[in-house]
Each structure stands twice: as structure tokens, then as C-alpha cells.
Structure 1
Amino acid sequence: MPQIFAANTRIGVQSMAEKITLTIKKQKSIALIAHDGMKADLIQWCKDNIETLKKHSLCGTGTTARMITDATDLPVRGYNSGPLGGDQQIGAKIVEGKIDFVIFFSDPLTAAPHDPDVKALMRIAQVYDIPFANNKATADFLIHSTLMDEEYDHDVINFKENIARRAETLK
């Protein structure tokens, strides 16, 4: 019974929250991430989509970013390796509005020691309405979308307003 109440509470808070419109620019900021067993697949995907990726700003977790740059000559800004906080750094950039979508080739058959970090990254992408591809098929659909060459407006919760309102109710 407590779980049902908690779920209903979250829905209620979300539906009452004010929203603001953010614009994803024509030139996207794309995060590229892959688990160890999927790095070769992501590199091949980058090679297959190099002409599109050249038009955008790229970043990624440490090893993945370096390997993509070495294999493709695409400039990919590297953050820390995933297990050393790289996923969290990318999540922080999403919160700051500096990453527009995430391509994350995850390995569903291998346990990752930093799985909670990955789940946190997925959650923050969802909270901020950021497209998140966790496999090649989804990445293909994203990269070949007509929206890749356009600006895109999306609504997200106005967290400053929501926090102010909640603070008032706690007084």
C-alpha cells in the first residue's frame, strides 16, 4: 500500500509543476557512451554516421571518447570513465542544459559495477526530456530523424519555480 501512495504522490507533484520550454538547437550536443563489450559497436556506428556526427558537438565518457576519436578523427570531448564518475558528469551537463541527447550502447548481458550511475543518468535524461538511445536501432532512428536538422522545443519542469513553491508549503 505505501508504494501506491508514493507513486500517486509523485504523479500529483509532477502534474502540478509548472513547465518551461527549452529549445534544442540545430547543432546538437550529443553524448556518446558504451559499455566495454559494446565499444566496438558504437565506434562502427559512429563511422557509419560520421557525416551527420561531424555537424554536431560530441562528448563521451573517457575511454569511449578517446577510442571514437582515434578511430574516426571526430572531436569527442572526454569526461571521466563511467566507473570513475563519467556518467554522472554527463548527467550534470544534462541538468545544465549542455547535452541534447545521449547515445549509450549498453551491454544488457554483462553486469556493470557502476550500474546505479547508469540508472541515474537514464533517469535524469527522462526528467529533462532528453532523447536517450540505449541500442543501435534506437540510435539509428534518432540520428536519421528529420529533427536532427531542426531546432526542437520541448517542455520540462521549471525546477526553480517548483522548489520555491514547495519551500513555501513547508513553512
Structure 2
Amino acid sequence: MNIALIAHDKKKKDMVNFTIAYKKILENHSLFTTGTTGKRIIEATNLKLYRFLSGPLGGDQQIGSKVAENKMDLIIFLRDPLTAQPHEPDILALMRLCDVHNIPLATNLGTAEILIKALESGNLNWRNIID
């Protein structure tokens, strides 16, 4: 499965900790990230991933294009709903695309863990049925 990992600045540490905790699951999938988030994940985990541009330069939109092309299966976008900065990726466009194309999108650690555990158990294979 193709999985995108994005995090607002104040959630990057949470994303790194999440990828450390679920490294064994994530390493079996194709991972895509925005630039800075990906750099931090690589430094902490050595996971192999593809880094798009950083969020302010359009990395979230590059991931969105993969959603529109039906080339993304799951997105984890840890967002900071209270203090997101203007330069950070905007989740609204990505959320809309995920809703249009029925792509699971987690915006917090609780939902992200549920999706990862479903992925691990094989219960997130509905995309194989549709495709």
C-alpha cells in the first residue's frame, strides 16, 4: 500500500514517535512524506520513503495529486488544529480529495493507530477489492 505521512510543525515529534512505534508495519509499504517530516522520520528510523517538497513548497499538493490519480491508499496527516501556521500544509484540500476518492485519512494519533492496526491485521484491504 502507498501511505502518505504529513505533520504540522508541532506534530512532527508525534509523527516521528509514531513511525518508530510502527516501523515494522510501515517498512512493508511504500511511504511518501512531505520534505521536513520525511527528513525527521529518516533520521529516527532509517525507513525508506519518498520525500516530496516540504509543505510550504507544495508537498501536500503533490500528495494530493497522487490521491487524485488513485495512487495513494492511506494518509496520516497529524495536524495542529490550535496553532497551525500559515506556511504549513492546508488539510482542507487534501481532506476533500480523500473524501472524493474514498481514501482513509487520519488527522490524529488515535485514528492513525486504528488504521495502522487494521493495515497490520489485513482488514484494510478494501482497496484491493475496488481496484
Determine if the TM-score, normalized by the shorter chain, exceeds 0.5.
Answer: yes
5+ residue gaps, structure 2: none
Identity %: 47
State the Cα deviation string for residues 98-121 of structure 1 (Å, max 9, x = none).
110100110111133157832101
Following TM superposition, by how much is the alpha carbon of 1:152 offset from its aligned partner in structure 2, in angstroms?
A: 1.5
Alignment RMSD, CA only?
2.0
Q: Which has the higher strand share?
A: 1
Aligned counterpart, 1:65: 38
5+ residue gaps, structure 1: 1-27, 156-171
Aligned counterpart, 1:40: 13
Give the distance between the partners of 1:147 and 1:50, measured in 2 at CA: 11
SS in structure 1 at match of 2:90:
helix
Give the distance between the partners of 1:137 and 1:85, measured in 2 at CA: 26
Aligned residue pairs total: 129
SS in structure 2 at match of 1:111:
coil
SS in structure 1 at match of 2:62:
helix
Aligned counterpart, 2:116: 143
Aligned counterpart, 2:28: 55
Contact 1:66 1:76 (C-alpha < 8 Å) held by counterparts: no
Query: Residue 88 in 1 paired to residue 28 in 2?
Result: no
Match of 2:83 among 93, 110, 125: 110
Report which stretch shifted further, 115-124 or 130-139: 115-124
Q: Per the alignment, do residues 42 and 82 of structure 1 end up closer, same or farther by CA in structure 2, a change over 3 Å counting? A: same
Match of 1:130 among 95, 100, 103: 103
Following TM superposition, by how much is the alpha carbon of 1:32 offset from its aligned partner in structure 2, in angstroms?
A: 0.3
Q: Given the two structures, how large is their TM-score scaled by the length of structure 1?
A: 0.70
Contact 2:32 2:49 (C-alpha < 8 Å) held by counterparts: yes
Which amino acid in 2 is paired with 1:89? Answer: Q
